[in-house]
Chains A and B, each alone.
Chain A
């Protein structure tokens, strides 16, 4: 026990040594980095809009107001899921959304309970069809549905005329179409086509057959598919088709003769948002004359304002063949269409055993 006595006496030395070691080691730690940059957003926008539309609008808004805008891009599906979750409109970063932007008007109409009412001073200039009765949302742009075709593979004799052209046997497997379950645009297109179809048989079944039961997953796939010739023709929105055509691509488009739908999109302020003032400014800006003009001149969309005419060469909305179906009807019809489409696919799958 003599030895352990002497070791006990050495304890303070051992302690001091280990203390020094600890200090040395801890001094090797990196000092924590610089202060983070200020990232406080003055406005949070949840956008289901294409980047090409959303970014310039947001940028100009930032330049004019000096606000910092945070844009979260996402799909309509996600938006609806998060809204219905009831957990509140919270984004990935835990920030509350102030504004949803680029959402189809029928969806906005449907989810009215989530929005704050706001009437923009620009409202009187907005065409009546794009005005919200109870001021829950503000429309932004309109894009009629068109049928686009590749001029290299579609001769002038074969140029499609309307929705029924999609059923022609020569286009079997060469029609670009997105699954209506995935896209608002295509469920509207399918609803419109089915609504106006006067031919024999079930339009949907025949279309599915002509698509060879294959569909794409996004609008941009349709556009690029037609552009590079994988598909001969397909349904797209006017803006995209116009952009491609004015860009010199070998494509052209028609408005279906049976009648088409103008899909308006818009923005709404989320209930209980943290920056309502900025959100109102943003809504005002989206329908301002400057924004609507640039929308028409550079972004290939149609304006919802009566005082902003379309580009020369485009027929005004009034003269387009528009079907006589209101938003509610279309919204109802779309749900029905999606159900039927799923049924068609199920039947096909059962038949082929796939």
Chain B
């Protein structure tokens, strides 16, 4: 079956269709023809054997009847006496009478004659003239002398004295009461007798052949057959050869042997269906097969093309996709599975293309952010030193506010330009603390700041400077105009998600702002760059499911951040 796999898909579909359509057709036509002829032959043989049985039984019956007739005729001994006593005309009349009576039953089957012991004809029921003498030292009478009952004898066609019309003779020795032979009863079986006997047992195509116990022909139901044809039939019967092989329907040769006299009967049955008809059957089935082949070629060709064409189109398109051409689309009008498959392919390449473009855009955005970040790191040491100078000058000049401002600013600056994108939550909170210190000086302690962070969460890694914009928001916008404001940063962990909330009890937030924060992908917004950046950072770093939610209640505003709990930072 390996070779089959080497063909292309189209060829395989084609060959498969062809096989499936042709093999059953051819096979069934062959089987039907063969079964048909076989059953006919079987029937032929069975019927022939039955006919043979019947003929054989009929022959046996005939022989029995002849025997009976002879016995009845000779039982009283008159016949034997008349042979010797030639003068008694009265007795001769009686003899004829008893002769006719005895043979009544088999009158149509045989002619009776009586020959005296010297072989001379004395009485006969045969109306035709016949030989007046039979040799007693040769042939029939010689055979009868040595046998009891009736002896049957095939007449010898080569002997000049033989009546050609008589095919078989039987002889019955006529003996008087002392056991001396006085004559013979001779039965003649002519061609007509045989015709009568076998009539109705065979149809026109059949031939019956009756052979004597030495297998020499006695009678042939086809009178036109010469020696050659008869010998041919005997040859087939003897050798058991079936005639005319290779023609599907045979001429059958059947035979049987009549049990009492050993006479053979051969029946030659010619086929009821001529070889011509068989040939026609063969031709028709071949033509049907040819028609089937043509139809098959057409349909399986169309089918295989219909299946294989879209598949090969898809195959080629896929090869292009592999090379990176995502713009490829296959046009199809089909509504079936292959049509849907093609459409799915089109959709898939479209999606892939869009996704690729998105990814490229994201990368560009990231690059832009990074560049911006780098720009902010310019000349940090100069700024530190300056701030340090400011701090020490303030200490010297006893202006502690400025010293605190400068110190915390330097701290925030260091954090904000650090090259590490992620820092621990503790570090971030320290930054916030610095920021609060500065803001407390700005707003002269109008608010209270608290953190509520569990110790184990302090080492969580978080993006750098991501809380600062929110705290700034809370101080600048939330506590705007408030005396004694309150800001609390609260962290919690649940199911690997770190929640950090920044709550203020200020004036709250307008609705539009809340919606903007809570939307999935908030657009850039003027005046809220810090907040926007925090949202973007969370989304980019951790994915879409993390981010910020805002909640405004009567007590104040809570901004909740959701991000995964990470003890160490994986590469971004």
Residues of A that sit less than 8 Å from B by CB:
1, 3-4, 7-8, 11, 21, 24-25, 27-31, 33-37, 39, 51-53, 55-56, 59-60, 62-64, 68-69, 243, 247, 289-290, 293-294, 297-299
Residues of chain B contacted by A11 (CB below 8 angstroms): 1
Q: Is B31 a contact of A24 with CB atoms below 8 Å? A: yes
Q: Let me know if B138 and A293 touch, CB within 8 A.
A: yes
On chain A, the residues within 8 Å of B139 by CB distance are 60, 63
Q: How far is the CA of A27 from the CA of B31 in the complex (A)?
A: 10
Q: Of the candidates B2, B142, B239, B242, which one forms a contact with A30 in the assembled complex, judged by CB atoms under 8 Å apart?
A: B242
Within 8 Å by CB of B214, from A27, A35, A68, A247, lies A68
In Å, the complex CA distance between A4 and B216 comes to 68
- Give the CA-CA distance A143 to B238 in the complex, in Å: 37
Instruction: Return chain B residues, CB-CB under 8 Å to A68.
Output: 214-215
Q: Which of B142, B160, B215, B250 meets A39, CB within 8 Å?
A: B215
Q: Would B237 and A56 count as touching, CB distance under 8 A? A: no
Given the complex of chains A and B, what is the CA–CA distance between A167 and B253 in angstroms? 57
Contacts of B157 in A (CB 8 A): 55
Known A-B contacts A290-B142, A293-B137, A294-B138; the reply to A35 vs B240 at CB < 8 A is: yes
> Which residues of chain B have C-beta atoms less than 8 A from A60's C-beta?
138-139, 142, 156
Considering only residues 139-188 of chain B, those with a C-beta below 8 Å from chain A are 139, 142-143, 153-154, 156-161
B214 to A, closest residue via Cβ: A62
Contacts of B143 in A (CB 8 A): 63-64
Q: Report chain A residues within 8 Å CB of B527.
A: none
Residues of B within 8 A of A7 (CB): 1, 4-5
Q: Which of B4-57 contact A (CB under 8 A)?
A: 4-5, 12, 27, 30-31, 34-35, 37-38, 41-42, 45
List residues of chain A with CB within 8 A of the CB of B239.
36, 39
A59 to B242, alpha carbons, bound, how many Å?
29
Interface centre among B4, B35, B138 (most CB of A within 10 A): B138
Minimum distance in angstroms from B170 CB to a CB of chain A? 13
Assembly CA distance A166 to B204 (angstroms): 55
B156 touches A55 (CB 8 A): yes
Closest to B140 in A: A63
- Other 6 A-B pairs with CB < 8 A, given A24-B31, A25-B34, A289-B137: A7-B1, A36-B240, A37-B237, A243-B160, A290-B138, A294-B159
In the complex, which of the residues B154, B159, B252, B254 has the most CB atoms of chain A within 10 Å of its own CB atom?
B159
Q: How far is the CB of A288 from chain B (nearest CB, A)?
A: 10
Residue of chain A at shortest CB distance from B38:
A28
B38–A30 touching, CB < 8 Å: yes
CB–CB A29/B160 < 8 A: no
Does B466 count as interface, using CB distance less than 8 angstroms? no
Q: Complex Cα distance A297/B237, Å?
A: 36
Closest chain A residue to B216, Cβ basis: A59
Closest to A69 in B: B214
The verdict on A28 contacting B237 (CB below 8 Å), with A7-B4, A37-B255 known, is no
Any chain A CB within 8 A of the CB of B219? Answer: no
Cα distance A298–B42 when bound, in Å? 49
Do B1 and A8 touch across chains, with their CB atoms under 8 A apart?
Answer: yes
Chain A: which residue is nearest B137 at the CB level? A290
Give CA–CA (A136, B264) in the complex, Å. Answer: 38
A55-B240 contact in complex given A28-B35, A30-B41, A294-B135, C-beta closer than 8 Å: no
- On whether the beta carbons of A4 and B161 are closer than 8 Å, the reply is no
Q: How far is the CB of B274 from chain A (nearest CB, A)?
A: 18
Is there contact, CB below 8 Å, between B1 and A30?
no
How far is A275 from B206 in the complex, measured between Cα atoms in Å?
38
Q: Digit string of B227-256 for contact with A (CB within 8 Å is 1, else 0)?
A: 000000000011111100000001011110
Which residue of B has the minimal Cβ distance to A290? B137
Contacts A/B (CB < 8 Å), 26 sampled:
A4-B1, A4-B4, A7-B4, A11-B1, A25-B31, A28-B38, A30-B38, A30-B250, A33-B45, A33-B252, A34-B240, A34-B254, A35-B240, A37-B215, A37-B240, A37-B257, A52-B158, A55-B158, A56-B159, A59-B154, A60-B139, A63-B214, A243-B160, A247-B160, A290-B142, A294-B138
Contacts of B214 in A (CB 8 A): 59, 62-63, 68-69
A21/B4 in contact, CB under 8 A: no
Minimum C-beta distance from A38 to chain B (A): 8
Q: In the assembled complex, which residues on chain A have CB atoms less than 8 Å from the CB atom of B137?
A: 289-290, 293-294
Which residues of the other chain, B, contact A243 by a CB distance below 8 angstroms?
A: 160
Inter-chain contact B153/A63, CB cutoff 8 Å: yes
Q: How would you classify the secondary structure of chain B's contact residues: helix, strand, loop or mixed?
A: mixed
Instruction: List the A side residues contacting B252 at CB < 8 Å.
Output: 33
Bound: A243/B161 CA distance, A = 12
Contacts of B159 in A (CB 8 A): 56, 294, 298-299
Q: Which of B199-232 contact A (CB under 8 A)?
A: 214-216
Q: CA–CA, A29 to B245, complex, Å?
A: 12
- Shortest distance between the CB of B159 and any CB in chain A (Å): 5
Q: Cβ of B30: which chain A residues have Cβ within 8 Å of it?
A: 25
Which chain A residues border B154 with CB–CB below 8 Å?
59
> Which residues from A are CB-within-8-Å of B34?
25, 28
Query: In the complex, are the beta carbons of A33 and B240 less than 8 A apart?
Result: yes
Q: Tell me whether B250 and A4 are in contact (CB under 8 A).
A: no
- CB <8 Å contact, B160 and A298: yes
Our pick among A21, A51, A52, A59 for the contact of B27 (Cβ within 8 Å) is A21
Which residue of B135, B156, B241, B257 contacts A59 across the interface (Cβ within 8 Å)? B156
The complex places the Cα of A298 from the Cα of B159 at a distance, in Å, of 7
Query: Which of A27, A39, A55, A294 makes the CB contact (< 8 A) with B238?
Result: A39
Q: Who on chain A is nearest to B256 by CB? A: A34
Chain A residues near B12 (CB-CB < 8 A): 3
Most buried by B among A1, A294, A299: A294
Report the minimum CB–CB distance from B264 to chain A (whole Å): 7
**B240 pairs with A1, CB closer than 8 A:** no
* The 9 A-B residue pairs with the shortest CB-CB distance in the complex, in nearest-first order: A36-B240, A28-B34, A4-B5, A39-B238, A55-B158, A62-B214, A28-B38, A290-B137, A37-B238
Residue in chain B with minimal CB distance to A4: B5
Using Cβ atoms and an 8 Å threshold, which residues of chain B touch A293? 137-138
**Closest A residue by C-beta to B155:** A59
Give min CB distance, A64 to chain B, whole Å. Answer: 8
Nearest-neighbour CB distance to chain B for A309, whole angstroms, equals 15
How far does the Cβ of B112 sit from chain A's closest Cβ, in whole Å? 22
Is there contact, CB below 8 Å, between A56 and B156? yes
* Measured CA separation A29–B139 after assembly (Å): 47
Whole-angstrom distance between the Cβ of B272 and the nearest chain A Cβ: 15
CA–CA, A37 to B266, complex, Å? 10
**A36, B41: Cβ atoms closer than 8 Å:** no
Chain A, Cβ-Cβ closest to B151: A63
What is the CA–CA distance of A53 and B257 in the complex, to the nearest angstrom?
29
Q: Which residue of chain A has its CB nearest to the CB of B240?
A: A36
What residues of chain B lie closer than 8 Å to A299, measured between beta carbons? 159-160
Asked if residues B27 and A37 are in contact (CB atoms below 8 Å), the reply is no
Assuming the A-B contacts A33-B242, A34-B240, A37-B240, are A3 and B5 also in contact, with contact meaning beta carbons closer than 8 angstroms in the complex? Answer: yes
Q: Smallest Cβ distance from B213 to chain A, in angstroms?
A: 8
Q: How far is the CA of A4 from the CA of B5 in the complex (A)?
A: 6
Alpha-carbon separation in the docked complex, A68 to B215 (Å)? 8
Contact partners of A21 in chain B: CB under 8 A: 27
Q: Give A257 Cβ to nearest chain B Cβ, in Å.
A: 30
Residue of B nearest to A37 (CB): B238
Q: Quick one: closest B residue to A291, CB to CB?
A: B138
Determine the chain B residues whose CB is within 8 A of the CB of A27 once the complex forms: 38
Q: Which residues of B contact A29 (CB under 8 A)?
A: 38
CA distance A294 to B135 in the complex (A): 9
Q: How far, in angstroms, from A28 to B41 measured CA to CA in the complex?
A: 10
A60 to B156, CA, bound (A): 9
> Is A56 a contact of B158 with CB atoms below 8 Å?
yes
Which residues in A have their C-beta under 8 angstroms from that of B38?
Answer: 27-30
Which residues of chain B are near A59, meaning CB under 8 Å?
154, 156, 158, 214, 216
